[in-house]
Amino acid sequence: MNPVSIPRRQFFNRSLGVAAVVAMLQEQAWAADATAGKVKHSVCKWCYKDIPLETMCEAAKEIGLESIELLDPPDFATLKKHGLHCAMVSFPTAKGPDNKKIGSIPHGFNRLENHDLLVEAYEPLLKTSAEAGFKQVICFSGNRDGMDDEQGLENCVVGLKRLMPLCEKLGVTLVMELLNSKVNHPDYMCDHSAWGVALCEKLGSPHFKLLYDIYHMQIMEGDVMATIRKQHPYFAHYHTGGVPGRAEIDETQELNYPAIIKAIQETGYTGYLGQEFIPKRPDKLASLKQAVGICSVG
């Protein structure tokens, strides 16, 4: 028996109908992807040292930023006045032996002898941040200075565990930043996402996570989008920066930021994206506005 023959016009009409349905479903899927997570815009104040905070707040509101970060408690009132958030509170320091700034990038949680000073410095900062409604505070591993990475991991767990009960009580998260040790921070221990993830797993607390700095991790390990997709449960915050040079994040550098932001959104992330590039152009606020536009995906 011969198969039933379908007239050509009827075949094309049916095909077009199927194509329309497929297109509609694709559009719905794309729309769902776009709304799966929408980052909020933030900026790191230290990149604009010559701009007063008051002026920066006014500019931030005009540009569409919701946060200015890496600020200290004396800055909180100014932020509040302008209705802005601090997505990541800066780190405290305490004076240690030989005038070392304990709590700074080179002198962090990977040394047992730092822990008492770190706890003493972080406890009031955590409380003040929580009172202001700012729920993420940055911290650092410290440099290796001859220490084995595994030993540093264990030492960090010991010190950070002392702060986790207070973090839980306050609803605050301590966030350790991943930094490159190749260009900017020689010898820094938390310089690969795998080490940071291992620390999160060993600590086992939802109140400790990582700051995934896209600029730093592109320099150290690349594979940015795949890492974000795989390890995003450990990432509480993201920073930007052009590679190489840490300048504007536009076509003058190698990273495809719209694609990276899309990958972040697809994880369901709804937190803040901190612009942490150092503008090289004379009009620094124009560069910031451009970066916000580049990262406004979906």
34-73 tens-digit pLDDT: 334 588 999 999 999 999 999 999 999 999 999 999 999 9
Q: Does 29 or 191 have the greater pLDDT score?
A: 191
Give me the domains of the chain, ranges plus CATH numbers: 40-295 (3.20.20.150)
Residues 224-239 have pLDDT tens digits of: 999 999 999 999 999 9
Q: Choosing from 120, 150, 177, 251, which is the catalytic residue?
A: 177
Angle at 168 between CA 165 and CA 170, to 5 degrees: 110
Contact 153, 199 (CB under 8 A): yes
User: In this model, does residue 1 exceed pLDDT 60?
Assistant: no
Per-residue pLDDT for 111 more than 70?
yes
d(CA 223, CA 212): 13
Active site residue 177: yes
- Cβ neighbourhood burial of 97 (10 Å; 0-12, 13-18, 19+): exposed
Identified catalytic residue from 69, 248, 266, 276: 276
pTM: 0.87
* Residue 267 reports pLDDT greater than 50: yes
- According to the 3-state scheme, what is the secondary structure of the chain? CCCCCCCHHHHHHHHHHHHHHHHHHHHHHHHHHHCCCCCEEEEEHHHHCCCCHHHHHHHHHHHCCCEEECECHHHHHHHHHCCCECCCECCCCEECHHHCEECCCCCCCCCHHHHHHHHHHHHHHHHHHHHHCCCEEEECCCECCCCCHHHHHHHHHHHHHCCHHHHHHHCCEEEEECCCCCCCCCCECCCCHHHHHHHHHHHCCCCEEEEEEHHHHHHHCCCHHHHHHHHHHHEEEEECCCCCCCCCCCCCCCCCHHHHHHHHHHCCCCCEEEECCCCCCCCHHHHHHHHHHHCCCC
In this prediction, residue 8 has a pLDDT band, given cuts at 50, 70 and 90, of very low
The per-residue pLDDT for range 179-218, each reduced to its tens digit, is 999 999 999 999 999 999 999 999 999 999 999 999 999 9
Please, what is the average pLDDT of the chain?
91
Confidence of residue 153 (pLDDT cuts 50, 70, 90): very high
Task: State yes or no: is 123 an active-site residue.
Answer: no
Listed residue (42, 32, 34) closest to 237, CA to CA? 42
Predicted confidence (pLDDT) at residue 113 exceeds the cutoff of 60: yes
pLDDT at 37: 55
